[in-house]
Amino acid sequence: MYRTNTCGELRLSDAGKDVTLAGWVQRVRKMGGMTFADIRDRYGITQVVFDNDHNAALTEAANKLGREFVVQVTGKVQERTSKNPKNPTGDIEIIAEELKVLNPSEVPPFTIEDDTDGGDDLRMKYRYLDLRRNPVRRNLELRHRMTMEVRRYLDSKGFLEIETPMLVGSTPEGARDFVVPSRMNPGQFYALPQSPQTLKQLLMVSGIDRYFQIVKCFRDEDLRADRQPEFTQIDCEMSFIEQDDVINLFEGMAKHLFKEIRGIEITEPFIRMPWADAMKYYGSDKPDLRFDMRFVELMDVLKGHGFSVFDNAAYIGGINAKGAAGYTRKQLDALTEYVKRPQIGAKGMVYARVEADGNVKSSVDKFYSQEVLQQLKAAMNAEPGDLILILSGDDVMRTRKQLCELRLEMGRQLGLRDKDKFACLWVVDFPMFEWSDEEQRLMAMHHPFTHPKDEDIPMLDTDPASVRADAYDMVINGVEVGGGSIRIHDAALQAKMFEILGFTPEKAQEQFGFLMNAFKFGAPPHGGLAYGLDRWVSLFAGLDSIRDCIAFPKNNSGRDVMLDAPAHLDPKQLDELCLALVEPQKK
């Protein structure tokens, strides 16, 4: 046996035992005639003592050890005289009797410590070394525990775990597909699935009734902190259900995960907020409810007083930053520059302080009397010590989104976005369609298989832009952790949806004929939800990016810098696939 024990399990009760450990050398320290080596494995760190008086040759060999050498050590457990209460094995040490170097190591390019000196790019290049670090390893352990709890919960609810194919047909809606050329079918391509959407619907037609899969999905889209080109979904579908059935079951799963993983008992039902309210009061379909600062529309209060910026605006909205009236001019100028950044796009910001005596001091005082400013204070429900921040614009939705960014930044600056505090809600009643300026047509807000609300179906012929969907997203701390919908199960209604989306009957049949044909053979009412596993893990781990809870992630350019992928293909491979490369056009 390479080891009798791991480096994390020995305790004072093991004193006197002869043991063998195997692991990596964390560090070596020489003190007089003694050498101390910390040996690490996945389970912890144990101190090993090499005593010159006890075995000079062994101590000399220990002095030659370097960081990350793989070693095997045999010795006797004894109580430490200088204990380390921060380490679970800190009450004991091993008096070495034998040492075997299983594999030496070059000096690692960064320190394998909790607080490493390696930057992101370097750690991604040597990810196998980064994974030895405790914080990264703990994230993977958390991910493992979560997948086990997910399986346990869904199994208890009668779900079957079923795999669906990784090589599927390309779909024209949604994000770009990753495509895979077929050697056996020259000129034709598979796509990697963005979601097993149609396949899980076919499983419902087949009578499976309750399906789930922890599945890899792929989307060729621009990256950000909560996106990777490949990601993992907890993908679920159910038959003979309505929206409330899906929401209740998966809210139960969320509460189960909070209890089992974080030790947090949530007894209250999650808030359900219509999409229209989320946009009106928070400027986002994933509002962060850890703090208040709801938007207040101020058109009636501030319009028509000679301030042209407001007088010409289609929307004026404000937020009340409680207790922030002490912000300095420098801080307020920085906030103004923040909202004027190109990615936010506001033209400026107006502020008003509520002073200790109740009077309001504004950055546009010359246009407004104290009487009007008192109306502003009342509208904002502001008190002495509060800071009112106001944005306006000629596009209502765009201005609300800008105000959303300002609200989130104020929440961050005021310490209101505590990662150990959780605010959960469902956003419901999404629009069925959204207008695409690029395509110059209506697009499905979620996907073309989402069922419209029954009461809105007549508007598909008269006012499709006003139709609401039986769709729902779960949002926690401003992050969409999952979403789903009730699906269309009627072939005629599905054909109508494709017609509104600009599909000819021939194109709809070519792309999705397999699904519409299946509906003709008795499709049950069905619906489902997909959770983002990566987002759940990063949320519970308190991470800012999903990248740190994925074993081998891509960087912000979609590259795997460790494997140097994507890479060029050998010309012979291109010939086998009947492919020729063209130079990309310069932008």
Q: How far apart are CA 120 and CA 49, in angstroms?
A: 35
Q: How far apart are CA 318 and CA 403, in angstroms?
A: 8
Phi-psi region of 62 (alpha: psi -120 to 50; beta: other; left: phi over 0): alpha
* Bridge partners for 531 per DSSP: 234, 482
Identify the pLDDT of residue 108.
96
Which long-range contacts link 392-396 to residues 24+ away (Cβ below 8 Å)?
392/309, 392/310, 392/313, 392/315, 392/316, 392/317, 392/350, 393/313, 393/314, 393/315, 393/346, 393/347, 394/312, 394/313, 394/314, 395/314, 395/315, 396/314, 396/315
Is the bond preceding 566 in cis, omega lying within 30 degrees of 0?
yes
Identify the pLDDT of residue 174.
65
Confidence grade of residue 584 (pLDDT, cut at 50, 70, 90): confident
* 178 within 8 A of 191, measured Cβ to Cβ: yes
Phi-psi region of 511 (alpha: psi -120 to 50; beta: other; left: phi over 0): alpha
- Coil, helix or strand for 516? helix
Correct CATH for 291-413 of 3.40.50.1820, 3.40.50.1100, 3.30.1360.30, 3.40.50.20: 3.30.1360.30
% of residues, the chain, pLDDT over 90: 87
pLDDT above 80: residue 586? no
Euclidean distance between the first and the last CA atom of the chain, given in angstroms as a whole number? 61
Look over the chain and give the mean of its residue pLDDT values, rounded to a whole number.
Answer: 94
Confidence grade of residue 587 (pLDDT, cut at 50, 70, 90): low
Q: Pairing relation of β-strands 160-161 and 210-218?
A: parallel
Section 518-531 average pLDDT: 95
Residues sharing a CB contact under 8 Å with residue 99, sequence separation 6 or more, in sequence order = 50, 58, 61, 62, 71, 72, 73
Domain boundaries, the chain: 12-103, 138-272+424-549, 291-413
**Domain spanning 12-103 has what CATH number?**
2.40.50.140
Q: What is the 3-state secondary structure (H, E, C) of 55-72?
A: CHHHHHHHCCCCCCCEEE
* Bridge partners for 31 per DSSP: 34
Q: Which fold has domain 138-272+424-549?
A: BirA Bifunctional Protein; domain 2 (3.30.930)
* 433 within 8 A of 493, measured Cβ to Cβ: no
Tens digit of each residue's pLDDT (9 = 90 or more) over 91-111? 999 999 999 999 999 999 999
**Selection from 432, 434, 435, 436 nearest residue 457 by Cα:** 432
- Coil, helix or strand for 81? coil
Tens digit of each residue's pLDDT (9 = 90 or more) over 562-581? 999 999 999 999 999 999 99
